[in-house]
Amino acid sequence: MSEKLQKLKDILGEVSDINRAASVLVWDQETYMPPGGLANRADQYSTLRRIAHSRFTADEVGGLLDDLDGEVRGLPFESDHASLIRVTRRDYDRARKLPTELVAEIARAGTMAQPVWRKARQDSDFKLFAPYLQKNVELIRRVADALGYRKRPYDALVDRYEPGLTTDQLEAIFAELKKAIVPLVSDVGRHADAVDDSVLHRGFDPDAQLAYSLEVVTKLGYDVKRGRQDISAHPMTFAFGPGDVRITTRVSRNFFNECLFGSIHESGHGMYSQGIEQNLDRTPLWGEASPGVDESQSRLWENLVGRSAAFWQYFFPSLRDRFPGPLKGVDDEGFFKAVNRAQPSLIRVEADEVTYNLHILLRFELENELLEAQLKVEDLPEAWNALVKSYLGLDVPNDREGVLQDIHWSDMSFANFPAYTLGNVIGAQLLEKVRSEVPDLDGHIARGEFGVLLDWLRLNLYRHGRKFTPGEVMERVTGRPLTTEPWVTYVRQKFGTLYGVRTAEAGS
Ligand code: ZN
């Protein structure tokens, strides 16, 4: 390794250390920090983010990248060194456009707005949160302006998360999904009696649920020697490095899905992080390809695996042993159906696979309108409720179950919502490829053999970290660009069968 490359890696290692330390602070805030710690925590977090940003955007880093450009020119695209220079350059050029003070202000604004949002949600009082949201929208507009865009402010934010993707492309993806989903929702609605999920509400001991969920994710391949599970208001994953990738979940006595599927979802993120090649550690390459690709793994494990019939063939006997009371008279097939009940609902995180993307679509549209100043913050609840009525056919009874339900606009995660829909689409496309190479995948799952799937994902996706953009990932792994077709085929088949619906596509 040349002296210059070593120098660059030393700086990037320090930046990574600082960012991970900031991330430990967030983990602590979400799990164990007392409420009184907030003001100090906002300072601490903001300070670390500012130091990391200014260290990373120093002229010295730019100079080293310039010098090293020639050194890696002949190397293969996917080599560690060529990838490191290419991806670091992309991150660097983008980060240089953001003034350090703006980065610090955003970190502070996000930390301070969160508890206000929590209180506002609890009291269903949008007016309390509105001034903070107003400030956050102004800040995120400054980010979009600083980053620059050709057509729409949202482009700048999307590109930051999903390099190469545009707002127009997202609109096209959503249009295709909507065309498939809307008729399916009404077909399923006409056969709503086909699925009864009352078993999920029969009362499951919370401690037993937590223990069981950890056993399940360990069986799937989440390595607890390099991780742990705690409780937080919203399930999350925190990756501090190859040896420490933590997940959180939540638990409800009267709704079984929250804990287990929260855990499986986060273990999908966790297994991705745990599968990144060790020698990329402490560089910008140690991470997931993008939030969308990251979400493809949480949703692949949660839904395509965890909500499959084969999965419950394997796990149901042990679940029934653990919860004999609530599961009396239930079999694996009945339970499989219950966890897949589809019905338009108000809360995104509780939405079924069919309607989920409609929740994202309406957030995507509202974010664009806020950013382009077509919609005022004060008019947001009304606009939200109108879209819920239009897409899901529901009346929103209060803002707690409406516009105040998500954390994202309080913690500055604007333009992050499309990652969930991208995750659904990418996950289905990847699993279609897995099935073409592992024809008996369901047989493996039904026998509790998850290694074949995990190994495939590690080999083809996880180990590469951030070397490739989402578009490059799809081309390399599946041999074609991102397409909604595998997901549409999957939901039509699965829910057509579950609900006894003969749609033209599923029935023919
Ligand atoms: Zn997730």
Q: How many whole angstroms from 435 Cα to the centroid of ligand 1?
A: 23
141: how many CB neighbours lie within 10 A of its CB? 18
CA of 269 to the centre of ligand 1 (A): 7
**Cα 53 to averaged position of ligand 1 atoms, centre (Å):** 25
Which listed CATH number (1.10.3720.10, 1.10.1740.10, 1.10.1370.30, 3.40.50.720) goes with 167-499?
Answer: 1.10.1370.30
Q: What is the pLDDT of residues 16-71, one digit of tens each?
A: 999 999 999 999 999 999 989 988 999 999 999 999 999 999 999 999 999 999 99
Q: Decide if pLDDT at 234 tops 90.
A: no
Q: Which tens digits make up the pLDDT trace of 57-104? A: 999 999 999 999 999 999 999 999 999 999 999 999 999 999 989 988
User: What pLDDT band is residue 435 in, cutting at 50, 70 and 90?
Assistant: very high
Q: What pLDDT shows up at residue 508? A: 37
Q: How many C-beta atoms lie closer than 10 Å to residue 66's C-beta?
A: 10
How far apart are the CA of 373 and the centre of ligand 1, in A? 29
CA 340/CA 241 separation, integer angstroms: 34
What local confidence, expressed as pLDDT, does residue 236 receive?
95
Question: Percent of the chain having pLDDT more than 70?
Answer: 99
Looking at residue 107, its pLDDT comes to 87
Ligand 1 center to 273 CA (angstroms): 13
Determine the distance separating the centroid of ligand 1 and the alpha carbon of 29, expressed in angstroms.
Answer: 18
pLDDT digits (tens, 9 = 90+) for 303-320: 999 999 999 999 999 999
Q: Which tens digits make up the pLDDT trace of 191-227?
A: 999 999 999 999 999 999 999 999 999 999 999 999 9
Domain boundaries defined on the chain:
3-148, 167-499
Cβ atoms of residues 364 and 117 within 8 Å: no
Q: 104 — phi, psi (to 5°)?
A: -65, -40
Chain centre to alpha carbon of residue 135: 25
pLDDT of residue 233: 84
* Mean pLDDT, rounded, for 465-485: 97
Q: What local confidence, expressed as pLDDT, does residue 506 receive?
A: 44
Chain segment 286-307, per-residue pLDDT in tens: 999 999 999 999 999 999 999 9
**Mean predicted lDDT score pLDDT of the chain:** 95
Edge-to-edge strand ranges of the sheet holding 245-249? 229-231, 245-249, 237-239
Catalytic positions: 266
Q: Residue 99: what are its φ and ψ, rounded to 5°?
A: -60, 140
Given a cut of 50, whether residue 497 has pLDDT beyond it is: yes
The answer to whether the CB of 378 falls within 8 A of the CB of 130 is yes
Tens digits of residue pLDDT in 369-402: 999 999 999 999 999 999 999 999 999 999 999 9
